[in-house]
Amino acid sequence: MKDRLSDKLISAIEESMPPRTNLAGYLTKELFISKEAAYRRLRGDVPFTLEEASIIANKLNISLDKLSGNDNSGAIINMSLIKHQNSLENYDETIVRFLNITEQLQGDPSAQLHWATNMIPFILCEPYMYITKFRIARWLHQSNNITGTLSDIEINKKTLLLQSEVATRFRNIPVSLYIWDTEIISSFIKQVQLFSNLRILVKEDIYKIKEELYALIDDMEKIAADGCFNNGGRAYIHLSNINLEASYGYIESDSIQISTIRIYAINIIDSRHPDICRLQKEWIHSLRRYSTLITESSEMERLKFFNKQREYVNNL
């Protein structure tokens, strides 16, 4: 029985990894074991311990229940949980989950991202310090009732480096299809106004956020016009003609498929179950039918949209 489970786990690992991945090297890194110990497990000479199997299953979203024949739910859902008393450590862990998701896409020319969002995409916010701090401060206040102003929030270098790496990886995906809710800027501004009324933001904070929003809108417009990220992959931007209920993502390549839904401001639910991924992809593409492509086309619609976003910022 143990041998069969180990064989199934090895097969699941192979299916979850990109082609030509050095499996022994991956196990050595993730399990902190020697290369020879990794080879013994891959050959089946030594079974994986329960702890080792759990670590790998968590990293690659493999269902141990399914491998053991006890798959009652028919679906695999993963979500981040609060594990640390330090809230920013929880934030870092969420970012690391994005890193793990994108790790298998590195250098894969078949990778594609499909993303329908009712918020400013994280990968566009990342270069802007005050916008980033506000996103984190809003989450801290809402989730943990932390008091204080924006200036009380300190983001360490590790967090900034993690964010930058995630943003770079997403920008480098060869093809990205985005569907934006037309209210993504105005909804962000409403949040800024609310936290200003709560005295979490002071005038200087709002001034800095406005400056960054103008620059962010310029970046968004350039991506929409050029159809690509700077030194990154292709990007096709659509404007939704209906309000989006949430932010939905779908990532696929020749070797993997992952669906995600954003919850609780910064967290995600993700799944690699083929049925869930199929439904997610179909839903995003159904939203596409109710959207207008503004990348390298519909120039008047594009100008109208971005000018409207600047008006929102002017009124902040």
- What DSSP string runs through 6-56? HHHHHHHHHHHSPTT--HHHHHHHHHT--HHHHHHHHHTSSPPPHHHHHHH
Say what the pTM is: 0.73
| 218 and 309 Cβ atoms separated by less than 8 Å | no
Successive 10-residue mean pLDDT values, the chain, 316 residues: 67 77 86 85 79 78 64 52 59 78 81 91 88 85 69 82 89 93 92 88 91 95 91 90 87 85 74 83 90 89 94 90
Q: How many residues make up the chain in this entry?
A: 316
Q: Kindly state the DSSP code that residue 82 receives in the 8-state scheme.
A: -
Residue 231 confidence (pLDDT): 76
Helix ranges, the chain (H): 2-16, 23-31, 35-43, 50-60, 64-67, 87-103, 122-125, 129-144, 157-171, 184-197, 203-226, 274-288, 299-314
Q: What single letter denotes the amino acid at residue 258?
A: I
Q: pLDDT by residue (tens digit) across 264-315? A: 666 778 787 888 888 888 999 899 989 999 998 888 999 999 999 999 999 8
- What DSSP string runs through 284-305? HHHHHTTEEE-SSS-HHHHHHH
